Amino acid sequence: MALVKQKDGLWFYEGLYTDITYGFKVSKVLVPEIDTGFQKLMILETERLGRVLVLDGIVQLTEEDEGIYHEWITHWPMFSLLQPPKNVLIIGGGDGGVAREVLRHKSIKSVTMVEIDRMVIDSCRKHMPSISEGIWDDKRFHLIVGDGAEVIKSMKGKCDVVMIDSTDPIGPAKSLFNTNFYQSVYDALVDGGITIHQTGSLILQPSECPASWRQIERSFDDVRVVQFTNISYMGGPFSLTAGSKGRKVFPKASQNSKKAFKEAGIKCNWYSPQISAVAYPEFQRRLEQDKYGEEIVMDIELKNKTIPSVTKVAKWSKETCEAIKMVAFGTPMVSNKDFKEGDTLVQYIETSAINYRQYGTTGCANVFTCASLPVDDAAAYSIGYYGASSAMCHYILRGSFTDIRQIRQNSLIYKADLGKGGKKLSPVNESYKPKMVDCSKVFSKDFKLPVEEGFSSAFELIMDVYDCDYSKISSSEAVAKWASSEFCKATGLDPIGKADAPDFGHAKKKTSGPSVTQLLKQGSNISHYSVNWLMIVINLVSTKPYSIRKALVSTMKYFKGERAVCWIIPRGAQNKTLKQIADKTLIFEVVKKDLE
């Protein structure tokens, strides 16, 4: 939206969000919007906030409150260290505010600032000199104009603190939001060192902080979120995410900072170790959750081969939403309006999806949610709705961050029997775990899928893919292309129509990112994407066998996934015992090197 002329003068409105904004009155445009070659830059003069730096339509700092951000991102890690810092690296920070605060520490021998955009440095130095003050004349200060993601590779073991003072993960900052970069940062730190990164509004940018937390958690030994507020950063609680090299730093950070701050004698206007910067409990819970969601896979044992109408299945999907206390999103999608054997109906719910298809006398249903799933309610209602008395069930935690052995332990294969009265399930007397195998067995030429052995009418491949590329999994267009084209080419499955890829979870706590349904002649491809956790959870049902290896290569290569936990489940297995079904249910893990 940027600059808008109104009756009382010129106003600026920030364009960071598509559905919410804030604005302020402008007294003078000091630097009209110019293209720097990396981003669009503008500097404004205001009576309320002083001079304001704007990049790509987003406020980066104002003279009035810049000290809040610069003091917290600098002094929180520097005073938290076990020893006073000597060498600091700043990636970004072209305005000079972070360097200014770093150089106030007498222990500093060297501070290097790597800024990719020279025009940011020159414009801020000319029009906002109070931000950088005297850093340019300080012999301890060194400037490198270049890409921080490349420069840091040559700084192994040289830094006490690495401060990542970048814009959001778009434009020139894209290279700073990936696992490889965080690993380079870890390598650049000395033992006991700290990195810290601005990671957006905890409310209005629900993806940014959790995504960074998960990436940093994979490379660093301990992670903390620092919460603060700043008037020119819209969205209430704002976040900095910090990682340490070694586990001794953060447990003592509060104690160390109070002592070090007192000894340093630095007077701050905004930072104080006495002010709690701990994230609200709700945000901390989001960060520490160990799974993305829950799913129940049900093969309902029907009394006859009658295929229900679309209307009846759609009613089931709606009423199942009510049974599990969820809200339906949009209307159901069907592969065939006449709904014959093997056809699929999919209903999105507020936190994922419900689907149904039928093979012979088996009704195959899935209920998946990334909220807490009342599993027994879903099973009891579904069994009763279709006039059945029982169902073969697989209960699976989706997107779990635990070890595959623990994921297997938490999975359950059992028979759900509807008790007297037809509303609640009887106690489970017999249950099994999926069979854990090495991925090499599934990839071998001798491996047979359940449909190839004649064991079942169809099979389901479930893939939870971790550490995916942010730009791919956050784009509805990119995930739709994979589902409708790339995956079908790899497997030989035939798409029906185009992929449906709504981004209905954008503002949700955990579901931020699109969901995708690609209906197939042989089944369906239903997947959900969490940009918070850089994860995909995928359900692929097919009556036609295909190469599991090719399916994984297509998926992990396209989304740049590092690891996947997978299940193969027989669907529509007629007249098979619970133990037989459990014996054909496999769980296995794949890492990128397995596909090379």
Task: Please give the Cα distance from 228 to 275 (Å, whole number).
Answer: 10
CA distances from 84 to 102, 140, 263, 535, 567 (A): 12, 16, 10, 38, 50
At 164 the three-state DSSP class reads strand
Which tokens is 111 given? 């501070």
Task: Map 503-518 to HEC letters.
Answer: CCCCCCCCCCCCEEEE
Q: How far apart are CA 209 and CA 2, in angstroms?
A: 26
Active site residues: 165
Per the rule left: phi > 0, alpha: psi between -120 and 50, beta: everything else, 157 is: left
Query: What residues contact residue 306 under an 8 Å CB cut-off, 6+ apart?
Result: none
DSSP string, 379-416: HHHHHHHTT-SEEEEEEEEES--S-HHHHHHH-EEEEE
Angle (nearest 5°) at CA 563 between 560 and 567:
120
* CA separation for the pair 569, 118 (Å, rounded): 56
Degrees, nearest 5: CA angle 198-200-204: 175
Give kind and range of the element (H or E) at residue 219: helix 208-219
Gyration radius from the chain CA atoms: 27
- Report the distance separating Cα 338 and Cα 532, nearest Å: 39
C-alpha span between 460 and 115 (Å, rounded): 49
Q: Is the dihedral of CA 548, 549, 550, 556 positive or negative?
A: positive
Joined together, the tokens standing for residue 453 give 């052995």
Letter string b/e over residues 381-408, b meaning 16 or more CB atoms within 10 A of that residue's CB = bbbbbbebebbbbbbbbbbbbeeeeebb
Cα–Cα distance for residue pair 566/576, rounded to 1 Å: 23
Quick check: 127 and 51 in contact, CB under 8 A?
A: yes
For tokens 């009394």, what's the residue? Answer: 303
d(CA 516, CA 78): 44
